[in-house]
Amino acid sequence: MQTNNQVGIPGINDGSALAGGLAGIAVAGPVGSFQMGIFGSVPRLDLSMMIQVVNNWTKTVGNHELRWGGDVRRNYENLFTLNQSTRGEFDFNQSVTGSASVSNSGLSMASFLLGSPSFFQRGQFILAPDERATRIAGYGGDTWRITPKMTVNFGLRWDYISPITPKKAGGDVNYDFNTGDLILAGVGDVSKFDNVQPRYNNFAERVGFAYKLTEKTVLRGGLGRSYFINGFDAAFNHLDSSYPIAQAQVVNQSSLYAPIFPLDQGPPTPAAPVFPASGHLRPPANDFVKAFPFTRKTSSIDSWNLALQRQFGRDFTLTAAYVGNKGNNLDYSYYNVDAAPPGPGDLLSRRPYYQKFGFTGQIYVNDTNDHSNFNSAQLEASKRFSGSYSIDSVFTWAKALDDQIGNRGPQGNNPYDLAGSYGVSYLNRAVVWTTTHTLQIPYGRGRAFGSHANGLVDAVFGGWSFDGVTTIESGLALSPTDSDSSNLNADFAQRPNRVAGVSFYQKAKNRYGFLNPAAFQTPAVCCYWGNAHPGTMRGPALYNADLSLGKAFQIKTPLYAEPTSLEVRWENFNALNHTNLGSPVNDINNPQYGQIFSTQSDLRRMQFDLHLRF
């Protein structure tokens, strides 16, 4: 698409699909502000493919069932994704058409009509992103039926997950923390893995058992480990989306009252990056780089469970279980290791890699530093369909903790105290109770009542089914934040201090005041990171019932040789029309702290469905 060229903005649409389309254009006030085009990481032309070869074998020897096999996978990831739009983004503000001698003068619309932008940025791929990874696994295990009541299974699996490699030499770039150089994969003395060391010691043990206590009571348990590779930017796209593989062009005003360049001339052509034969180059000043540490552990999860199940009658079971897991070396840690720690004075002199190498940008590391754990008690009552109805009800009491994996928590991370962010996960709900049911209304032909109803009565009143899902959940974990970082004087966000003895909540928790502003305060002294851990509070609970009423009509059609039915359904989402309040404002410096301006779910929605099945 040559949209930019067609509207008179040259120098952006270069004929490639990635640079095609219209730039994002933002026209500010003071009156009539508007936007056109799309802002952000667009377009996204990603291609992912995996080739897998699997071979599994089973052999029964006496009361042993032996299993073994192998699994080979090859990932192909071409992720054409940058943080900047490759179509470009323009801002037009009023100062360009204003005067320094007249306060608040000028019009952004006038700046736009004159083609005088005040800001421009775009992302560009110099080399096409083209990354690969190889995964090889082998396993063996035994299911041993020791007695008619006792069965044990155990096994061992080995996983190799290679570091990411580019298709062509120089297609990935890493940062060497020892020299301060950018290093190009497979060029000069740099390995094809960009000096990230492969790991060959990923062994995963697994064991489980089942014991029949009585004819209707079974005890089951198991534990095991699984290794895995994460996706976007935790593995792929991290080393091929920064200089010199990709670069961001940013053009700012030299003066508030001067445009950056005439729009009809287009942006200046950025200098082409250099790819030295040594594989080593210095990072550009005032830019960012991305890095994988040379030693990275493979992410894994340990899972375990213990369950007692009892059958009552012929169709009802009750299960009580303890279920847990622990995430190890999770590779979503994403933080700036060149951030200035808290302290007095200017920030630049306290940035460690400025002190070491004079680097003035940011170094975003994706490391395997994150951990998580989950523990839950679960109770399930289940009645299989019989006697015109079925029901399944699951109650879970759980706690999930992590260290705001991937810097995705509301508070952000302190790169000098990652463990300080360990707390209740912002995704955790302590209590979740979900009940599903199906009830065939017992009226109509073949049912308890109305089995001899005439055709018209049966068509109107017979054969209906009442289905539903009812959910009760406690509130999501909440974390206080602090937008005032002036006393921290660091390159990361402040968090508040807890005020001892003060309740988190208002006495009457409602949308006008759910959280208590007196429970937290900004640290009063310089250079101190607050002590309010994440997940210390809970938001509003959720109550929801989705109900439906439906009936299937058997009809005759020209396709009479095949079963044909017309299904009618009346579906109600949030059928009781309960207002589920959303999360409250959690910035203690916001005068609206503790107030709620959103909902977790829509109010009642109805829809009527008609399905013809043949």
Which range has the worst mean pLDDT, 10-14, 43-47, 361-365, 387-391?
43-47
- 3-state DSSP of 517-559: HHHEECCCCCCCCCCCCCCCEECCCEEEEEEEEEEEEECCCCC
Beta strands in 10-86 (DSSP E): 24-27, 34-36, 47-61, 64-78
More confident residue, 327 or 386: 327
The pLDDT score that the predictor gives to residue 445 is 80
Beta strands in 313-463 (DSSP E): 316-330, 333-336, 362-367, 370-386, 389-402, 423-424, 431-440
φ and ψ at residue 461, rounded to 5 degrees? -110, -15
Tell me which H or E stretch contains 472.
strand 464-473
Cα(89)–Cα(83) distance, integer angstroms? 12
Long-range pairs for 403-409 at CB < 8 Å and ≥24 separation? 403/369, 403/370, 403/371, 403/372, 404/534, 405/327, 405/330, 405/332, 405/333, 405/370, 405/372, 406/234, 406/332, 406/333, 406/334, 406/370, 407/333, 407/334, 407/335, 408/332, 409/479, 409/534
Report strand pairing: 182-184 vs 64-78.
unpaired
Query: What pTM was computed for the model?
Result: 0.85
| In the chain, % of residues over pLDDT 70 | 98
DSSP state of 163: P
Q: Calculate mean pLDDT across residues 303-314.
A: 96
Tell me which H or E stretch contains 2.
none
Beta strands in 79-130 (DSSP E): 89-92, 119-125
Taking CA atoms, 208 is separated from 67, 94, 142, 305, in Å, by 15, 69, 10, 9
How many CA atoms are closer than 13 Å to the CA of 92, on its beta-carbon side? 27
The pLDDT score that the predictor gives to residue 585 is 95
DSSP alpha helices (H): ranges in 360-471?
455-461
Q: Calculate mean pLDDT across residues 222-244.
A: 89
Q: Calculate mean pLDDT across residues 7-33.
A: 89
Q: Calculate mean pLDDT across residues 278-282.
A: 96
Amino acid at 170: G
Taking CA atoms, 99 is separated from 18, 104, 257, 588, in Å, by 39, 8, 7, 39
The pLDDT score that the predictor gives to residue 556 is 74
The pLDDT score that the predictor gives to residue 254 is 86
- Predicted confidence (pLDDT) at residue 69 exceeds the cutoff of 90: yes
| Residue with tokens 């001339």, as numbered in its chain | 265
The pLDDT score that the predictor gives to residue 520 is 96
| Residue with tokens 């100062």, as numbered in its chain | 95
| In the chain, % of residues over pLDDT 90 | 71
The pLDDT score that the predictor gives to residue 266 is 93
Report strand pairing: 24-27 vs 89-92.
parallel
Q: CB–CB of 468/495 below 8 Å?
A: no
More confident residue, 188 or 613: 188
Q: Calculate mean pLDDT across residues 208-226.
A: 97
Cα(13)–Cα(1) distance, integer angstroms? 7
- Predicted confidence (pLDDT) at residue 150 exceeds the cutoff of 80: yes
Residue 507 CB neighbour total at 10 angstroms = 7
- Predicted confidence (pLDDT) at residue 559 exceeds the cutoff of 60: no
- Predicted confidence (pLDDT) at residue 333 exceeds the cutoff of 80: no
- Predicted confidence (pLDDT) at residue 526 exceeds the cutoff of 60: yes
pLDDT (tens digit per residue) in 348-402: 999 999 999 999 889 999 888 889 999 999 999 999 988 789 999 999 999 999 9
Amino acid at 85: S
- Predicted confidence (pLDDT) at residue 557 exceeds the cutoff of 70: no
- Predicted confidence (pLDDT) at residue 44 exceeds the cutoff of 90: no
Cα(612)–Cα(608) distance, integer angstroms? 14
- Predicted confidence (pLDDT) at residue 407 exceeds the cutoff of 80: no
Question: Is residue 311 classed as helix, strand or coil in its secondary structure?
Answer: strand
Which range has the worst mean pLDDT, 260-274, 292-306, 402-416?
402-416
* Most confident residue range from 81-85, 91-95, 254-258: 91-95
The pLDDT score that the predictor gives to residue 332 is 66
List the beta bridge partners of residue 161. 135
Q: CB–CB of 487/526 below 8 Å?
A: yes
List the beta bridge partners of residue 443. 449
φ and ψ at residue 349, rounded to 5 degrees? -70, -15
Provide the greatest CA pair distance for the chain. 96
Average pLDDT, the chain: 92
- Predicted confidence (pLDDT) at residue 561 exceeds the cutoff of 70: no
| Burial class of 104 by CB neighbour count within 10 A (0 to 12, 13 to 18, 19+) | exposed
The pLDDT score that the predictor gives to residue 100 is 84
Cα(245)–Cα(447) distance, integer angstroms? 69
The pLDDT score that the predictor gives to residue 443 is 84
Q: CB–CB of 372/425 below 8 Å?
A: yes
Residue 553: closest CA among 458, 448, 436, 425: 458
- Predicted confidence (pLDDT) at residue 46 exceeds the cutoff of 90: no
Q: Give me the DSSP letters along 474-517.
A: PPBEE--B----TTT-SSS---PEE-TT--SEEEEEETTEEE-G
